[in-house]
């Protein structure tokens, strides 16, 4: 996030890594500039010295300091260059290895960065940052392969060639406040921290043609100091923001101020006292909608290290803010956590370099449940190998802005999560001919009880729109055909998807075979492998609640006529008994045993008949597998096949007006 501009560029000065002693008289002036946070000036001085320096130890130190200037001001490419030189020249501080790894990660080289983090964990096994770096390298590779559905585009209309960051919505979607160091800012002095002007809060309005106005500084809040990180609430009429004042060579800290809007102008800013000690910096305000809870950033004592996010509460709109509390180790790390933003539902978003991320600052989402925060990386493309920070959402929508240094400077980026689009496209066909079946009634029933109904088109097709996280049953029916159904679910699916389904409707005519109905030899007991086929029959009877059927069992001709008849009747009855146990009404079922009196006829006009003709070349259309036909076959194997084909269980529709019930979706596959 180009820390050169944290809410106000100066915050980084307040949160810098600490005072370093000068290495020699040659670097003293540059060291002094660095130690007061004037990183731009320090960098210029260090570079001049580095060009002339010949001592390896001194060059290593200067390279490290140049890397620090670049890192703190957000120039990852330059930081990588100088840290590499520091490591090459064997700089003694292990941080050079850590920061070199971080700069490699920020320049999209996670594989190379991993080697540096591994080295750092060996040098400093007690420092968690090495392990975090290793996790980050693996995370980058994972997130690359699983990008979120967010659409991310640079907000070109409001960005400049300078730093633009920390956005906030005004009273509606067409008002945008943000921080900028562009030309025209009130603080015209060039910052020795960043080399750019001190930032002001800017304002832009979108017209009814979706065109943004030219951003202008907010009147009444812009001063020669630095202002930024606005948080706008109360319908766009109240703003909390960060104010930082700096004199030559010294810092006066950053404070949170508040202003109320009257008409088109902002009123006199009021200091918001959160911390009794005014010398301690407080910045990056974020407020709950009722203005009773304030999140902010500080490096005060009691934190986890670096910049932490703190929270203060009050009991009334005019009451004093309570004692700040650190959000704890689930949110804060030994690194920096900044730019909090809270949604009306309590979700907290913030930027961190201490949690495993893609490089630099990443944006994280935190949810609190049972008093404990759960933190999740927002993933790519919200996060990148550059700094990403300062996210805001518009109301409860999955749309908003954030700041990113993925360009040359920090810029505002617009994001939106497009709604998931689920479409069910289907085809209704005649199961016997495979031809499209027009005019079928196709009904879609959701798990929530909503229903939609269409007729299949002339080509048998139909289309439905589905919603996310829902279960559906789609049923097709037509007169003189058995209805069919399919289940479709969008639950847990994170990408838009088009579902395809085919609903085969079987003509109601003649006997319909139930495949794989098996019995023990010479017995009527159903074998376990028969249950799948019978369960399919239960589905048919349930979706076709208007039919009654005859269950027909057939045997081959071996054995006596009487025994075969009794056996087939017992088998048919056992099938009926199974269906009764599963809740099918008895008056819809008629067991019929036909023994050996019903030999199979090969019918090449049906799907099953065509399959048999293809599988057995010695069978022909019209063949009836009688005792005479089978005994005339030349081989034992062929005879056994025909015996098996005769031993079958079928059902035949007797009525299709039972109960006159409407078809409804049900069950699951």
Q: Which of 575, 420, 577, 431 is nearest to 509 (CA)?
A: 431
- Which two three-digit tokens encode residue 64? 């490290």
> Which has more pLDDT, 613 or 195?
613
Cis peptide bond upstream of 149, omega within 30: no
Mean pLDDT of 423-446: 96
Do 62 and 131 belong together in one domain?
Answer: yes
209-243: pLDDT as tens digits:
999 999 999 988 988 888 999 999 999 999 999 99
SS3 state at 126? coil
12-53: pLDDT as tens digits:
433 433 434 456 788 999 999 999 888 989 999 999 999 999
pLDDT of residue 666: 44
Residue 332 lies in a domain: no
Residue 364 lies in a domain: no
Q: Which CATH number is 591's domain given?
A: 3.30.1330.60
Do 528 and 462 belong together in one domain?
Answer: no
Last residue of a domain, one of 507, 523, 547: 507
Average pLDDT over the chain, rounded to whole? 90
Q: Which of 329, 278, 353, 341 is nearest to 76 (CA)?
A: 353
Per-residue pLDDT band for 4 (boundaries 50, 70, 90) equals very low
Residue 81 lies in a domain: yes
Residue 400 lies in a domain: no
366-377: pLDDT as tens digits:
999 999 999 999
Residue 54 lies in a domain: yes
Last residue of a domain, one of 95, 123, 145: 145
Do 40 and 133 belong together in one domain?
Answer: yes
Measured distance CA(130)–CA(112) in Å, rounded: 14
Do 445 and 564 belong together in one domain?
Answer: no
Per-residue pLDDT band for 9 (boundaries 50, 70, 90) equals very low
Q: Which CATH number is 27's domain given?
A: 1.25.40.10
Residue 534 lies in a domain: yes
Q: How many helices (H) and strands (E) does the chain have?
A: 13, 33
pLDDT at 438 over 70: yes
Per-residue pLDDT band for 560 (boundaries 50, 70, 90) equals very high
Kindly state the percentage of the chain with pLDDT values over 70: 93
131: buried, middle or exposed (CB in 10 Å: 19+, 13-18, 0-12)?
Answer: middle
Do 450 and 496 belong together in one domain?
Answer: yes
- Contact in structure between 179 and 199 (CB atoms under 8 Å): yes
Mean pLDDT of 488-501: 94
pLDDT of residue 669: 43
Q: Which of 7, 3, 581 is nearest to 257 (CA)?
A: 7
75-110: pLDDT as tens digits:
889 999 999 999 999 999 999 999 999 999 999 899
Q: Which residue has the tokens 């959402």?
A: 393
pLDDT of residue 618: 96
User: β-strands 293-298, 283-287: how paired?
Assistant: antiparallel
Measured distance CA(596)–CA(647) in Å, rounded: 9
- Contact in structure between 388 and 351 (CB atoms under 8 Å): yes
Q: Where are the alpha helices (DSSP H) in 582-659?
A: 607-615, 627-631, 636-646
Do 57 and 135 belong together in one domain?
Answer: yes
Measured distance CA(648)–CA(593) in Å, rounded: 11
Q: How many distinct structural domains can be found in the chain?
A: 3
Do 473 and 532 belong together in one domain?
Answer: no
Do 74 and 41 belong together in one domain?
Answer: yes
Last residue of a domain, one of 129, 145, 161: 145
Residue 192 lies in a domain: no
Do 7 and 137 belong together in one domain?
Answer: yes
pLDDT of residue 179: 96
pLDDT of residue 277: 85
pLDDT of residue 249: 52
- φ, ψ for residue 199 (rounded to 5)? -80, 155
- Contact in structure between 56 and 23 (CB atoms under 8 Å): no
Measured distance CA(324)–CA(337) in Å, rounded: 16
HSE-up (13 A, CA, CB side) for residue 124: 17
373-395: pLDDT as tens digits:
999 999 999 999 999 999 999 99
Measured distance CA(566)–CA(562) in Å, rounded: 6
Q: Which CATH number is 435's domain given?
A: 2.60.40.1120
282-320: pLDDT as tens digits:
999 999 988 999 999 999 999 988 899 999 999 998 899
Kindly state the percentage of the chain with pLDDT values over 90: 77
- Contact in structure between 193 and 12 (CB atoms under 8 Å): yes
Range of the domain at 78: 3-145
**Strand ranges of the sheet holding 216-217, from the earlier edge strand across to the other edge:** 164-169, 175-180, 200-205, 216-217
pLDDT of residue 357: 94
- Which two three-digit tokens encode residue 571? 């088998």
Do 496 and 591 belong together in one domain?
Answer: no
254-276: pLDDT as tens digits:
999 999 998 888 999 999 999 98
Measured distance CA(242)–CA(166) in Å, rounded: 11
Q: Which residues pair with 364 in a beta bridge?
A: 350, 377
Measured distance CA(420)–CA(497) in Å, rounded: 8
Do 18 and 99 belong together in one domain?
Answer: yes
SS3 state at 237? coil
Residue 178 lies in a domain: no
Do 503 and 548 belong together in one domain?
Answer: no
């Amino acid at each position: 996030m180009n820390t050169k501009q944290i809410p106000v560029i100066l915050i980084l000065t307040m949160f810098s890594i600490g005072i370093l002693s000068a290495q020699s008289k040659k670097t003293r002036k540059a060291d002094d500039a660095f130690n007061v946070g004037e990183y731009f000036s320090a960098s210029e001085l260090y570079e001049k010295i580095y060009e002339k320096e010949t001592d390896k130890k001194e060059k290593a130190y200067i390279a490290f300091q140049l890397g620090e200037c670049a890192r703190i001001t957000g120039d990852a490419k330059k930081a990588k260059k100088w840290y590499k030189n520091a490591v090459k020249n064997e700089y003694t501080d292990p941080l050079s290895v850590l920061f070199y790894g971080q700069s490699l990660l920020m320049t999209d080289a996670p594989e190379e960065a991993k080697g540096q983090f591994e080295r750092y964990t060996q040098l400093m096994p007690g420092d968690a940052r090495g392990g975090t770096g290793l996790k980050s390298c693996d995370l980058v590779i994972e997130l690359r392969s699983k990008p979120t559905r967010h659409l991310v585009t640079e907000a070109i209309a409001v960005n400049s060639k300078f730093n633009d960051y920390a956005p906030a919505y005004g009273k509606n979607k067409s008002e945008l406040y943000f921080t900028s160091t562009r030309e025209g800012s009130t603080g015209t002095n060039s910052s020795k921290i960043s080399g750019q002007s001190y930032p002001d809060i800017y304002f832009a309005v979108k017209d009814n043609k979706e065109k943004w106005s030219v951003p202008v500084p907010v009147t009444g809040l812009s001063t020669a100091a630095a202002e930024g990180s606005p948080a706008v609430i109360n319908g766009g009429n109240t703003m909390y923001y960060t104010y930082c004042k700096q004199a030559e060579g010294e810092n006066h800290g950053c404070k949170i101020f508040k202003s109320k809007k009257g008409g088109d102008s902002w009123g006199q800013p009021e200091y918001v006292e959160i911390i009794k000690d005014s010398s301690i910096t407080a910045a990056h305000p974020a407020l709950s909608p009722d203005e009773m809870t304030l999140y902010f950033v500080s490096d005060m004592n009691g934190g986890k290290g670096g910049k932490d996010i703190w929270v203060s509460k009050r009991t009334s709109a005019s009451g004093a803010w309570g004692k700040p509390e650190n959000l704890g180790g689930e949110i804060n790390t030994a690194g920096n956590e900044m730019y909090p933003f809270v949604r009306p539902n309590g979700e907290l978003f913030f930027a961190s370099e201490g949690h495993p991320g893609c490089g630099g600052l990443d944006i994280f989402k935190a949810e609190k449940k049972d008093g404990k925060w759960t933190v999740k990386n927002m993933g790519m493309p919200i996060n990148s190998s550059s700094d990403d920070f300062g996210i805001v959402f518009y109301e409860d929508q999955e749309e908003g802005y954030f700041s990113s240094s993925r360009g040359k400077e920090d810029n505002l980026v617009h994001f939106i999560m497009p709604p998931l689009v689920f479409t069910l496209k289907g085809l209704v066909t005649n199961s016997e001919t495979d031809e499209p079946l027009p005019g079928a009634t196709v009904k879609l029933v959701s798990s929530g009880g909503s229903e939609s109904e269409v007729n299949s088109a002339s080509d048998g097709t139909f289309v439905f729109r589905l919603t996310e996280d829902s279960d559906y049953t789609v049923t097709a029916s037509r007169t003189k055909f058995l209805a069919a159904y399919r289940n479709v679910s969008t639950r847990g699916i994170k990408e838009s998807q088009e579902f395809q389904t085919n609903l085969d409707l079987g003509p109601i005519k003649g006997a319909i075979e139930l495949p794989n109905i098996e019995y023990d030899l010479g017995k009527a007991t159903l074998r376990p492998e028969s249950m799948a086929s019978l369960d399919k029959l239960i589905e048919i009877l349930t979706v076709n609640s208007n039919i009654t059927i005859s269950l027909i069992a057939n045997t081959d001709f071996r054995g006596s006529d009487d025994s075969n008849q009794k056996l087939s009747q017992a088998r048919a009855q056992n099938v009926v008994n199974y269906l009764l146990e599963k809740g099918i009404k008895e008056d819809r079922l008629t067991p019929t045993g036909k023994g050996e009196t019903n030999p199979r006829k090969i019918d090449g006009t049906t799907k099953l008949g065509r399959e048999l003709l293809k599988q057995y070349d010695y069978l022909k259309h019209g063949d009836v597998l009688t005792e005479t036909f089978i005994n005339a076959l030349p081989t034992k194997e062929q005879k056994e096949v025909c015996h098996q084909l005769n031993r079958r269980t079928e059902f035949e529709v007797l009525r299709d007006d039972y109960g006159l019930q409407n078809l409804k979706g049900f069950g699951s596959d």
